[in-house]
Amino acid sequence: MVVKYNFPYTCENIEGFEYLTTRFKVADYVTEDNIYEALDNIDIPKPSEIIVRKISDRVDFSGLTKNKIFDFIKTNSPKFSEILSEIKSKIPLDNTEDINREICEWMLDMCAANIELSCFEDEYNRYSNVLTGAGDGNIPGVRISELSFRSEPGYSVHNRGYAIAFSPVGIVDCKNYTKTTIVGKNFLGCGLVHADYTYQWCGALIRWVILAKAKIGRKLTNIRFPSFFGIVSPNFFVQDPEKKVEAIRVIVRLSSDKDQKVNISFLNPIDYRKTLDSLDISVDRGVCDIEYSIASYPYVPPVVLKLDPQTTTVLKELNVLER
């Protein structure tokens, strides 16, 4: 059986090297001709048409993957600060002034980052494939498949205000103390940077290889939005009925540790650089449902969903239903 994807397995970058695309499976009825018609006719919900429903005041971070790297770290929280706090209570910091000291502050920070990112990978990869990496952006550097930071001292990144990332879509400036989404026609990634005026600095990279898809009959559950020094990464999914219908209902259930605004962007599945629409939705602390409908003709096409929260958040459920 031949499986169709929205993009080929590999493409050439601007330097002529092959790279893995960010892709997802498409249904047999989707063709190059009719998907353009479906995208032209798509009806994205207006803010007034989106229903936000409070499900519970209780923050629900249950059902997440447990850390497999350090068996003595017991917390299952997706909050970076809580992971780091337990690490610092159990791994002694070498406070000597010796330049050859064994355990430094940034090592504990990266320990927390690697726990957080590895758990996110496990949760996401139950459905598809994402790659992550974190470490000292100076020495030994941070790299994952076809995505890397330029190695340089932290004070250089701090003074300049951004780290430099190399990606299949070119050189990207990743701002300090925040997240930078790296988007190409067929590539999705993210760089997170925390660089103080020190020699070492902390960087994290994420790249989505095969996007997790919610479809009629299969919902996605319990996936964290990885946190890095309080910076919360966006996440990418596909909403696709995988059934030739002209209307669907989508429920996004989120659990947040604070009141916040979540940005929801609908990206074109044949060019991720093109945003079909983008909305900011207010959700309360606890568990909330965001519900909306999408219609089109001759069928509802697959759409890439970018969810971008501002505080510790877990996707409890992404459900696509026939309307």
- H or E, element range at 88: helix 80-90
Alpha-carbon span 214 to 22, nearest angstrom: 16
Alpha-carbon span 256 to 58, nearest angstrom: 9
Alpha-carbon span 235 to 226, nearest angstrom: 9
Which positions ≥6 away from 66 have C-beta within 8 Å?
Answer: 76, 119
How large is the greatest C-alpha to C-alpha distance in the chain, in angstroms?
69
17-40 average pLDDT score: 94
Q: For 78-109, how does the pLDDT look when each residue is reduced to its tens digit (9 = 90+)?
A: 999 999 999 999 887 766 565 555 777 888 99
**Contact yes or no for 321/294 (Cβ under 8 A):** no
Alpha-carbon span 125 to 131, nearest angstrom: 9
Structure tokens given for 177: 């103390």
pTM confidence score: 0.94
DSSP 8-state assignment for residue 177: T
Which residue ranges make up each domain of the chain? 10-59+211-322, 80-209
**Contact yes or no for 24/211 (Cβ under 8 A):** yes
Which positions ≥6 away from 96 have C-beta within 8 Å?
Answer: none
**Contact yes or no for 246/43 (Cβ under 8 A):** no
CATH of domain 10-59+211-322: 2.60.120
DSSP 8-state assignment for residue 9: S
Q: Which residue, 187, 186, 160, is CA-closest to 174?
A: 160
Q: For 144-185, how does the pLDDT look when each residue is reduced to its tens digit (9 = 90+)?
A: 999 999 999 999 999 999 999 999 999 999 999 999 999 999
Please tell me whether residue 107 adopts helix, strand or coil conformation. helix
Q: For 263-308, how does the pLDDT look when each residue is reduced to its tens digit (9 = 90+)?
A: 999 999 999 999 999 999 999 999 999 999 999 999 999 999 999 9
